[in-house]
Structure 1
């Protein structure tokens, strides 16, 4: 069975059809084939998560290495900003940012909004890992051999942290998807994009649960759960690589 992605547009199918052979996921009140909406919207939701995750972990990694390796005033400043940022209710800040951009928000802009706070936790956790590694013997040998700070970071510290950074990235992607879905359910996302979160917004806007249109909310909910479950298992696998003690205990 082939699905036309154009059926994700409004008025492309009969409205409010329950799941059937012609429309396996049913249709919504706007006349959209929900299977087409899921096929079009899932990559958009994942794009938001991956863009925000990469930006957050990328910035967090740079700041963490600078703070932990060079210490001093930079460490105090970066650690202080990260700690203060983590005490502020993140969703509230994201809501304020999204509200100020409402009306012009695109999928990529949504990712940047989420990424604006996505660097805080990685900065804190990666910094702790670098602080531990910088005291290892091989790092001291590298210093005594005349290697520069950036060279030690890229050739001695970074390779040892790659599994941990990968696990941190997956966690950041999960958190970014959760944050974006939360904002979109409130109507603060890209209003014209068929993301999973915006689909749930229209579910709420049209009172689909009250009216018994269960197929409208079931499809995006199940797919969101599957995405999080897949990312969870990926995180578990990466954690076992990053932490040998987990492999021994298993």
Structure 2
């Protein structure tokens, strides 16, 4: 490290700081897109299963349970090996989204089941309120905090999975991410060469990103939760 290269350079003379900026951007884009797609799936499944019930609930929860019990890391590793040549950031985001919705859909379903038994639901149904209006105007106000919190949690999971797959060399290593930075640092013997800044930079950035996303998840959940807002007003 020097004034010209704040975080030093790699064994090939590449600036680690500028690599890090691009890597964080790509990792965040991957995490955000994947989490948004999986939230759409989780919301749809949770709302339909919780509100419609019956056979739709049983079928959707059967599918959800099937995804939950899968050993996700092993499945993702096998799929990454099979489609490694086509594994771009977009493909990887969709792959993570496909396996990242099941548990959160169950949380949303549980909340909808609770809301369905509330008095305002019976009042709305008796007054002839359409189901879609009831869901979008009433239920979503209660589901949004949970969905937002799980979105951030899913971003953490996606980032961790990307780092793991990149470390194993199963992603597109030509695209700079936190995982590919770690992959190149280990492959080019950064530890043996004493280039500690090269290997600790992506690790430190990943840890800081995980902690920041976790704290953001808690803050957003408390801010968007109507009950938490009422409680804060009462304390004042």
Shared fold (TM-score, shorter chain, > 0.5): yes
1:92 aligns with 2:90: no
The TM-score with structure 1 as length reference comes to 0.87
Q: Give the structure 1 partner of residue 93 of structure 2.
A: 111
Aligned partner of 2:151 in structure 1 is 169
Q: Distance in 1 between matches of 2:37 and 2:120?
A: 30
2:228 equivalent to 1:244: yes
Contact 1:64 1:127 in 2 (8 A): yes
What do the CA deviations read for 1:151-174 (whole angstroms, capped 9, x no partner)?
Answer: 211111112222222111111111
2 CA distance for matches of 1:224 and 1:102? 23
Unaligned runs of 5+ in 2: none
| Mean CA deviation greater in 27-36 or 196-205 | 27-36
For structure 1, the residue ranges without an aligned partner over 5 or more in a row are 1-18
Which residue of 169, 174, 185 maps to 1:203? 185
2:163 is aligned with 1:187:
no
Q: Does structure 2 retain, via aligned residues, the 8 Å contact 1:142–1:152?
A: yes
Question: 5 Å matches for 1:57-72?
Answer: 57-72=39-54
Distance 2:68 2:104 in 1: 11
CA offset digits 1:224-246 (Å, max 9, x no partner)? 1111111111112133343639x
Of stretches 41-50 and 199-208 in structure 1, the one that deviates more from structure 2 is: 199-208
- Alignment of 1:81 with 2:66, yes or no, is no
Name the structure 1 match of 2:214: 232
**1:54 matches 2:36:** yes
CA distance, structure 2, for counterparts of residue 144 and residue 60 of structure 1: 28
The match for 2:119 among 137, 158, 162 is 137
Pairwise CA RMSD: 1.9
Q: TM-score, normalised by structure 2?
A: 0.92
Following TM superposition, by how much is the alpha carbon of 1:102 offset from its aligned partner in structure 2, in angstroms? Answer: 0.7
Q: For 1:85 and 1:44, how far apart are their aligned partners in 2? A: 27
Question: 4+ residue runs of structure 1 moved beyond 3 angstroms?
Answer: none
1:211 is paired with a residue whose SS is coil
Helix, strand or coil at the partner of 1:210: coil
Post-superposition offset of 1:37: 0.2
Q: Provide the rounded CA distance (Å) in 2 between the counterparts of 1:115 and 1:204.
A: 28
Partner Cα separation in structure 1 for residue 98 and residue 82 of structure 2: 14
Corresponding residue of 1:151: 133
